[in-house]
Amino acid sequence: MPRSQDFNRLPGAMSERPLLMIPGPIEVSPAVLRAFSRPPPGHGQPFVVKAFGDSLSRMREVWRAGEGAQPFMVAGSGTLAMDMAAVNLLDPGDEALLVDTGYFADRMRLVLEHRGVKVHTVVSPPGERPELEEVEAALDACAAKALFATHVDTSTGVLVDPAGLAALARSRGVLSVFDGVCATGAESFEMSEWGADVYFTASQKAMGLPPGLALFVAGARAMEASRTRRTPCPLYLDWNVWLPIMETHEAGSMSYFATPATNLVVAAEVALDEILSDRLDGLEGVDARIERHARTGRAMRAAWAHMGLGVVPASDAHCANTLSAVRYPAGVDASLVGRIVERGVIVAAGLHPAMADRYFRVGHMGYVTTRPDLLRRTIRAVGDALGAGGCAVDTVGAVDAAMKELGSRAVAV
CA dihedral (338, 340, 345, 349) in degrees, to 10, reads -60
Report the nearest approach of ligand PMP to the CB of residue 204 (Å): 6
For ligand PMP, the binding residue among 54, 136, 161, 179 (CB under 6 A) is 179
Report the nearest approach of ligand PMP to the CB of residue 107 (Å): 6
Helix/strand/coil for 214: strand
* 104 near ligand PMP (CB under 6 A): yes
Q: How far apart are CA 35 and CA 268, in angstroms?
A: 9
Tell me the DSSP string of 361-396.
Answer: EEE--GGGGG-HHHHHHHHHHHHHHHHHTT----HH
Cβ distance 196 to 176 under 8 Å? yes
* Smaller CB separation from ligand PMP, 349 or 412: 349
For ligand PMP, the binding residue among 31, 61, 79, 287 (CB under 6 A) is 79
Cβ distance 217 to 63 under 8 Å? yes
Region from 12-20, 77-85, 140-148, 239-247 binding ligand PMP, contact rule CB under 6 A: 77-85
* 197 near ligand PMP (CB under 6 A): no
For ligand PMP, the binding residue among 78, 162, 185, 363 (CB under 6 A) is 78
Cβ distance 168 to 147 under 8 Å? yes
Report the nearest approach of ligand PMP to the CB of residue 325 (Å): 12
Q: Which residue is nearest to ligand PMP (CB)?
A: 78
Please choose, from the candidates 286, 343, 283, the residue with its C-alpha nearest in 3D space to the C-alpha of residue 7.
Answer: 343
| Cis peptide leading into residue 25 (ω within 30°) | yes
* Smaller CB separation from ligand PMP, 77 or 192: 77
Report the nearest approach of ligand PMP to the CB of residue 201 (Å): 9
Helix/strand/coil for 28: coil
For ligand PMP, the binding residue among 181, 213, 302, 399 (CB under 6 A) is 181
40 secondary structure, DSSP code: P
* 176 near ligand PMP (CB under 6 A): no
Helix/strand/coil for 67: coil
Tell me the DSSP string of 1-27.
Answer: ---GGGTT--TTS--SS-EE-SSSS--
* Smaller CB separation from ligand PMP, 53 or 78: 78
* Smaller CB separation from ligand PMP, 214 or 401: 214
Binding mask 131-170 for ligand PMP (x = CB under 6 A): -------------------x---x----------------
**Cross-strand partners of 217:** 71, 199
3-state DSSP: the chain helix, strand, coil percent, rounded to 5?
Answer: 45, 15, 40
Report the nearest approach of ligand PMP to the CB of residue 74 (Å): 12
Cβ distance 135 to 122 under 8 Å? yes
For ligand PMP, the binding residue among 202, 207, 246, 337 (CB under 6 A) is 202
Report the nearest approach of ligand PMP to the CB of residue 238 (Å): 19
Total site size for ligand PMP, rule CB under 6 A: 12
Q: How far apart are CA 182 and CA 204, in angstroms?
A: 9
For ligand PMP, the binding residue among 111, 146, 149, 182 (CB under 6 A) is 182
Binding mask 6-25 for ligand PMP (x = CB under 6 A): ------------------x-
* 77 near ligand PMP (CB under 6 A): yes
Residues that bind ligand PMP (CB under 6 A): 24, 77-79, 104, 107, 150, 154, 179, 181-182, 202
